[in-house]
Structure 1
Amino acid sequence: MPDPTDRVNTPLLTLITQQSLDEDYQLVAERRAAENGGTPPHPRPARIAAVVVAAFGLLVTVAAVQTSANEGVQSASRQSLIGQIDASKNDVAHLQRRIVRLREHNLALQSQLDAVTSAQQDAATRNERLAGGSGFGPVSGPGVRITVDDSPTGERVVDRDLRPLVNGLWNAGAEAIAINGQRLTSRSAIRNSSAAIQVNSRPLSPPYVVQAIGDPLTLEANLMQTTGGLLFRDIATTLGYPWDMDTVDDLSLPAAPARLLRLSHAVEGTAEQNLHSLNSEKSEQKMEAQQ
């Protein structure tokens, strides 16, 4: 009878194999004994048992090899995943640094855009102011309106009658002047063509409405203190021109024709020289108007 201690210490796989082989061997031996009249079993079952043990060992070996291979694949997959995770972390860190650089770049561009926008607004305001002052932009505001008509006796208003009035308004502080909707600029001329007065090469018909934007409280009073204003009043009184002057809270003067901006010729010289020449020309025009 086998020792129970040996059975306990025997590995489970070995114990199962031995027990299975012993039972198979005993079964085959008993069957052979019954067939041979109780003769002892032939030693052939021992060879069969050896074959079975070898086959079982082969299966165990194949299973062990497969398990080892699977462990290798799993280990390789784990290393691959770790590598992918590390690469992804590096990519994320690179993208985060790039985001920081792009944000800084955007802030710099925004600052530049704000500066350009501010400069553009300043330029637009300056251009609007220059256009209004030069007569090539529409303007509106309070001022005075003077209406002059031909004399009932048949005396007609001519260009030399309106020039002193316009010069007087400029000297009285007018910021913009228009006659019958024709805006006056540094290139505008008040001249007679046949029986009609022309301004900006456009014929006008009476009554002549002279609109001047400026401080209405001082513009009306200052006009009659200028040489031009006094001369116009004397001419109107002498020739019998009906005229009146009203203060207006809101006047709207159009821009001068754009064709006046096209120069037919240019004069060589610096800005200071040209400004001096322009001032001299204006002085000569005023003297001519007073004569």
Structure 2
Amino acid sequence: MPESATRLPDQVVMPLLDRIVRESLDEDYQVVAARKSRERPRSSAAQRPPSPGSGRPRQVAAAVMAVFGVLVAIAAIQTSRNAPEANASMASLVEQAQERREGLADLQAELDKLRTSTNALRGDVAQAQADEQAQAARITRLEARTGVGAVRGPGLRISVDDAPDGDVSQQVRDSDLATLVDGLWDAGAEAISVNGKRLTNLTAFDNVGPAIHIAGTPLVRPYTILVIGNPDTLQADLLDTTMGQRWFTLVQSLGFDYAVKPADSLSLPAARPHRLRVVRPFEQTPERPGQDAGAGGS
């Protein structure tokens, strides 16, 4: 292959410093030559001696190259001196990055622990809320059973009165109403009131002459008994109880005026609180299905 075909351009193979010097000198020569051609007359161009300042560009270029070389040497020396500090700074940055990475890993582990603890606490809160709702429902049932709270719901409206045109023996007495009320409790009644008086497990019927009293308050005939419970099954369940059968026997034998009507919504007030004077130990008895402990009839 010819040498000219493989020869590379001077700007590729020439060292950078030589290239800078050559280009600087060429430009200076061009400037000086142009200036001389303008100042020298054409007629005496061959006779005028060379200008004494023709060597100045070469001197300037040499000075520039000397200064440039000094700067390069200073930069090299400064770089050499700063190399240990740079390496130390780099090592310090690497160490700091590693420490930050380890700290981030510790924080992530702590975050995972906190998330696990938070989920456990949420489970405890949900369980506590469920227990609270269950206790609130139980309290509501107990309030309905014991008469402490007012209640509303479907049930039966019962009317009881003396036998029409009957004598004294055919009048409704306190024991008769107590028999009916006990039968209703046994049939699954949730709440009972007589003439607007809420009944509890401490309520007692008394006869004072011909009048029936509840806790010292006289009742006026006819006796209206409101019962909250299932209106579809309560009356039939009453017939299956011992006290209910006894009540219907009294109705048939004495001719009481007895009427029952289902009601979609009944409102029973809360019972008046009683002041306890005597306290006895409670004896646990088996609960009937659907009845809470401590609830009962009259």
Deviation by residue 1:97-126 (Cα, 9 ceiling, x = unmatched): 344323312321222123212212321232
More helix by share: 1
C-alpha spacing 1:200/1:75, structure 2 compared with 1 (3 Å): farther
Aligned amino acid, residue 252 of structure 1: L
Q: Match for residue 67 of structure 2?
A: 58
Q: Match for residue 119 of structure 1?
A: 131
Q: Match for residue 258 of structure 2?
A: 244
The whole-number CA distance in structure 2 between the counterparts of 1:65 and 1:203 is 121
Alignment of 1:1-291 (within 5 A): 11-18=15-22, 20-21=24-25, 24=28, 27=32, 38-39=48-49, 42=52, 46=55, 49-59=58-68, 61-62=70-71, 93-94=105-106, 96-137=108-149, 138=151, 140=153, 142=155, 145-148=158-161, 161-171=173-183, 173-174=186-187, 175=189, 176-191=191-206, 198-199=213-214, 204-212=219-227, 215-220=234-239, 222-223=242-243, 225-226=245-246, 243-246=257-260, 248=262, 252=266, 254-257=268-271, 259-260=272-273, 263=275, 265=277, 267=279, 270-272=281-283
Cα-Cα RMSD: 5.3
Deviation by residue 1:152-206 (Cα, 9 ceiling, x = unmatched): 6897x99x81343223431562534321122111333445789975535655433
Unaligned runs of 5+ in 1: 274-285, 287-291
Conserved? CA contact 2:173–2:212, under 8 Å: no
Conserved? CA contact 1:144–1:219, under 8 Å: no
Conserved? CA contact 1:147–1:207, under 8 Å: yes
Deviation by residue 1:189-239 (Cα, 9 ceiling, x = unmatched): 44578997553565543321124457311414644643x7766877x55xx
The whole-number CA distance in structure 1 between the counterparts of 2:133 and 2:145 is 18
The whole-number CA distance in structure 2 between the counterparts of 1:23 and 1:225 is 136
C-alpha spacing 1:13/1:179, structure 2 compared with 1 (3 Å): same
The whole-number CA distance in structure 2 between the counterparts of 1:205 and 1:65 is 123
Deviation at 1:140, TM superposition (A): 4.1
Q: Match for residue 293 of structure 2?
A: none
C-alpha spacing 1:247/1:151, structure 2 compared with 1 (3 Å): closer
Name the SS of the counterpart of 1:271 in structure 2.
Answer: coil
The whole-number CA distance in structure 2 between the counterparts of 1:19 and 1:129 is 108
Unaligned runs of 5+ in 2: 1-6, 285-297
C-alpha spacing 1:253/1:63, structure 2 compared with 1 (3 Å): same
The whole-number CA distance in structure 2 between the counterparts of 1:199 and 1:122 is 34
If asked which structure has higher relative contact order (CA below 8 Å, sep 6+), I would say: 2
Aligned amino acid, residue 182 of structure 1: K
| Identity across matched positions, percent | 25
| Structure-1-length-normalised TM-score | 0.58
Instruction: Report the count of equivalent residues.
Output: 254
